[in-house]
Chains A and B, each alone.
Chain A
Amino acid sequence: MIKFEHVGLRYGIGPEVLSDINFTLEPGSFHFLTGPSGAGKTSIMSLMYLGRKPTRGLVTMFGRNINDMDRAQLCALRQKIGVVFQEFRLLSHLSVFDNVALPMRISGHRESEVKSNVDELLEWVGLGDYKNALPLTLSGGQQQRVAIARSVIARPKLLLADEPTGNLDENIGFRLMHLFEQLNRMGTTIVIATHSQNIMDRFGHPRLVLEAGHLHVHDNSNWVQKNIEGVY
Chain B
Amino acid sequence: MRGVLSRLTGNRRLGIAENKGRYDLPLNQSAGTHFLVLLVALMTFLAMMAITATMVLGGVTKHWSSGLENKLTIEIPALKPDGKLREAGDIKALSEGVTKALEASPNIKNLEVLGQTEIHQLVSPWLGDDVVLDDIPLPGLISLHVHIRDDEKLAQIEKAVKEVAPDIRVDTHESWLDDILRLARTMKLSSLVVTLIITLTTVTAIAGAIRSRMAEHKADIELLHLMGASDLYITRQLRRHAVVLTLKGSVFGAGAAILILFALSLMSGGAETGLLPGLSFSAAQIIFLAVLPLFAGIIASYTARFTVLRVLGQMP
**Chain A residue nearest in CB terms to B20:** A111
Which of B17, B222, B227 gathers the greatest number of chain A CB atoms within 10 Å?
B227
> Does B130 sit at the interface, judged by CB under 8 A?
no
One digit per residue, 1 when the CB lies within 8 angstroms of any chain B CB and 0 when it does not, for chain A 94-131 equals 11011000110111000000010000000000000001
> Are B228 and A132 in contact, with the CB atoms below 8 A?
no
> Does B220 sit at the interface, judged by CB under 8 A?
yes
Report the stretch among A17-25, A26-34, A76-84, A182-190 that lies at the interface.
A76-84
> Are A106 and B233 in contact, with the CB atoms below 8 A?
yes
Distance, CA A121 to CA B143, complexed state (A): 93
> Does B224 sit at the interface, judged by CB under 8 A?
yes
- A78-B227, A94-B17 are known; give 12 further A-B pairs, CB within 8 A: A49-B226, A52-B316, A75-B229, A75-B231, A77-B228, A91-B24, A91-B26, A93-B17, A95-B18, A102-B224, A106-B228, A132-B19
Q: Report if A75-B228 is in contact (Cβ < 8 Å); known contacts: A50-B316, A93-B26, A106-B233.
A: yes
Chain B contacts of A202 at CB under 8 A? none
> Are A106 and B229 in contact, with the CB atoms below 8 A?
yes
> Does A72 sit at the interface, judged by CB under 8 A?
yes
> Does B110 sit at the interface, judged by CB under 8 A?
no
Distance, CA A79 to CA B220, complexed state (A): 16
B238 to chain A, nearest CB (A): 15
> Does A71 sit at the interface, judged by CB under 8 A?
yes
Report which B residues bind A (CB closer than 8 A).
15, 17-19, 22, 24, 26, 29, 219-220, 222-231, 233, 316
Chain A contacts of B224 at CB under 8 A? 102, 106
> Does A53 sit at the interface, judged by CB under 8 A?
yes
Report which A residues bind B (CB closer than 8 A).
49-53, 71-72, 74-81, 83, 89, 91-95, 97-98, 102-103, 105-107, 115, 131-132, 134
**Chain B residue nearest in CB terms to A85:** B223
Chain B contacts of A79 at CB under 8 A? 227-228
Chain A contacts of B233 at CB under 8 A? 106
> Are A94 and B24 in contact, with the CB atoms below 8 A?
yes
> Are B17 and A89 in contact, with the CB atoms below 8 A?
no
> Are B223 and A95 in contact, with the CB atoms below 8 A?
no
Kindly identify which residue among B22, B29, B222, B231 contacts A71, using a CB–CB cutoff of 8 Å: B231
A35 to chain B, nearest CB (A): 22
**Chain A residue nearest in CB terms to B234:** A106
> Are A51 and B316 in contact, with the CB atoms below 8 A?
yes
Distance, CA A134 to CA B226, complexed state (A): 22
**Chain A residue nearest in CB terms to B27:** A93
**Chain B residue nearest in CB terms to A95:** B17
Contact sample, A vs B, 18 pairs, CB 8 Å cutoff: A71-B230, A71-B231, A72-B230, A76-B228, A78-B225, A78-B226, A79-B227, A81-B228, A83-B227, A91-B26, A93-B17, A94-B17, A95-B19, A98-B17, A102-B227, A106-B233, A115-B19, A134-B17
**Chain B residue nearest in CB terms to A50:** B316
Distance, CA A224 to CA B17, complexed state (A): 45
Chain B contacts of A50 at CB under 8 A? 226, 316
B10 to chain A, nearest CB (A): 11
Which of B224, B225, B228 gathers the greatest number of chain A CB atoms within 10 Å?
B228
Chain B contacts of A72 at CB under 8 A? 230
B28 to chain A, nearest CB (A): 10
**Chain B residue nearest in CB terms to A52:** B316
A148 to chain B, nearest CB (A): 14
B218 to chain A, nearest CB (A): 12
Chain A contacts of B223 at CB under 8 A? 89, 91
> Are A103 and B19 in contact, with the CB atoms below 8 A?
no
> Are B26 and A132 in contact, with the CB atoms below 8 A?
no
Kindly identify which residue among A76, A77, A94 contacts B22, using a CB–CB cutoff of 8 Å: A94
> Are B227 and A106 in contact, with the CB atoms below 8 A?
yes
> Are A98 and B22 in contact, with the CB atoms below 8 A?
yes
Distance, CA A53 to CA B315, complexed state (A): 10
> Are A75 and B220 in contact, with the CB atoms below 8 A?
no
Kindly identify which residue among B19, B29, B226, B227 contacts A93, using a CB–CB cutoff of 8 Å: B29
A146 to chain B, nearest CB (A): 13
B219 to chain A, nearest CB (A): 7
> Are B18 and A132 in contact, with the CB atoms below 8 A?
yes
Chain B contacts of A92 at CB under 8 A? 26
Chain A contacts of B18 at CB under 8 A? 95, 98, 132
Which are the 8 A-B pairs with shortest beta-carbon distances?
A79-B228, A78-B228, A93-B26, A95-B17, A106-B229, A94-B17, A75-B230, A53-B316
Distance, CA A93 to CA B28, complexed state (A): 11
Chain A contacts of B22 at CB under 8 A? 94, 98, 105
A43 to chain B, nearest CB (A): 14
> Are B220 and A51 in contact, with the CB atoms below 8 A?
no
Chain A contacts of B24 at CB under 8 A? 91, 94, 102
Which of A52, A97, A98, A115 gathers the greatest number of chain B CB atoms within 10 Å?
A98
> Are A97 and B19 in contact, with the CB atoms below 8 A?
yes
Distance, CA A98 to CA B18, complexed state (A): 7
